[in-house]
């Protein structure tokens, strides 16, 4: 997992936000709530982690240094589930009115490298715990809490927008990335 927080700018954060907004705007209208989408992504994540158990070690695949390995993608999911789930709760509960996203990027790089060394099933357990906490908050929060506005990096977002865009759409994007990464590993590992 490449350390890039030192070169990550506010514009990069804006580009990331545009990516998740575009993803959200382009996804088919399936009538699912954010809670249902998070639950579906968590279920798919569990399936993918099971699949990860039959893969060769990352050093036996021909992914480039810029590509994240499946375990690095999973580690990233764990980290943003912790940070952004907490951020959604903190804004919604009124505990915080500003979430310093740029400072969390340093945490992402340092902790991400540590998490990427953990077994996939342990990472899944952490992700499941964090996402379940977010789902519980979403189920219990009232309209006032979900409508509470806070500053997340350079953005003014409601707790609902944090849940939908920064947590849910972000998770779906990385579950898709994990699927692609596992496919690439499987193809390069096949005899």
Identify which of 170, 185, 188 has the alpha carbon closest to the alpha carbon of residue 18.
170
Q: Could you state, in order of their start, the residue ranges of all structural domains in the chain?
A: 10-23+32-189
* Cα 138 to Cα 134: distance, rounded to the nearest angstrom: 6
Q: Which residue has the higher pLDDT, 102 or 190?
A: 102
Q: What is the dihedral of CA 183, 171, 114, 64, to 10 degrees?
A: 40
User: CA torsion sign, 88 to 163 to 147 to 144?
Assistant: negative
167-181: burial string, b at 16+ Cβ within 10 Å, e else: bbbbbbbbbebbbeb
Instruction: Assess whether pLDDT exceeds 90 at residue 62.
Output: no
| Local confidence band at 57 (pLDDT 50, 70, 90 cut-offs) | low
What's the CA gap between 92 and 99, in Å, rounded?
12
Give the Cα separation of 75 and 177 in Å (integer).
13
Q: What is the CATH topology of the domain spanning 10-23+32-189?
A: 1.20.120
pTM of this prediction? 0.86
pLDDT for 8-20, tens place per residue? 778 888 999 999 9
Residue among 83, 108, 101, 99 at smallest CA distance from 158: 99
The whole-number pLDDT of residue 181 equals 83
Provide the pLDDT for residue 185. 63
Residue 106 has pLDDT above 80, yes or no: no
pLDDT surpassing 50 at residue 60: no
Q: Which of 171, 15, 174, 167 is nearest to 86 (CA)?
A: 167
């Amino acid at each position: 997992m490449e350390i890039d927080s030192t070169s990550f700018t506010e514009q990069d954060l804006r580009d990331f936000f545009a990516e998740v907004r575009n993803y959200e705007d382009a996804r088919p209208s399936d009538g699912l709530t954010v809670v249902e989408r998070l639950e579906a992504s968590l279920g798919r994540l569990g399936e993918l982690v099971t699949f990860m158990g039959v893969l060769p070690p990352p050093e036996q695949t021909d992914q480039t240094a810029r590509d994240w390995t499946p375990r690095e993608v999973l580690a990233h999911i764990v980290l943003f589930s912790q940070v952004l789930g907490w951020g959604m709760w903190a804004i919604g509960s009124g505990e915080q009115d500003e979430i310093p996203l740029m400072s969390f990027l340093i945490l992402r790089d340092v902790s991400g490298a540590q998490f990427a060394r953990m077994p996939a099933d342990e990472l899944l357990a952490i992700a499941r715990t964090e996402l379940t906490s977010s789902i519980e908050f979403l189920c219990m929060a009232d309209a006032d809490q979900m409508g509470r506005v806070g500053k997340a990096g350079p953005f003014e977002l409601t707790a609902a927008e944090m849940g939908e865009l920064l947590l849910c759409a972000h998770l779906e994007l990385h579950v898709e990335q994990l699927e692609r990464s596992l496919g690439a590993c499987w193809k390069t590992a096949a005899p």
